[in-house]
Amino acid sequence: NNFRRGWERDGAALCVYYQKPIWEPGKAVGYHALSYGWLIDQIIRRTDHKRRGIGQFFKEEIADKHGLDLHFGLPMEKAWRVARITRPTVIDRIDEFITDP
């Protein structure tokens, strides 16, 4: 289906390729948080002589050369490092209000 295909690299590229403009070209601009990364990835893949995606390109050409611990597409072996964001409970909010007004 189209939803599953949209999460695959080539499927996402085709979905964006066949997308019709939402407004008349030249009248407005915009991007979507989910499609922006796919667009950048395709630009890199089509212009890089090694045909690397944004994650590999950034790692090899920028992060590794400058000692940066930064990723586009976090490797699964580093997933444990991702901070989990949770909604505070009522008790947490009361505690915060009392201890740090």
Residue 98 reports pLDDT greater than 80: yes
- Cα–Cα dist 34/21, whole Å: 16
Determine the 3-state secondary structure of 88 from DSSP.
coil
Query: What tens digit of pLDDT does each residue of 54-94 get?
Result: 999 999 999 999 999 999 888 889 999 998 888 989 999 89
For residue 99, what are its two tokens? 């201890």
Lookup result for tokens 């085709």: 14
Q: Express each pLDDT in 7-55 by its tens digit.
A: 567 777 787 778 888 889 899 987 777 777 888 888 999 999 999 999 9
pTM for the model stands at 0.62
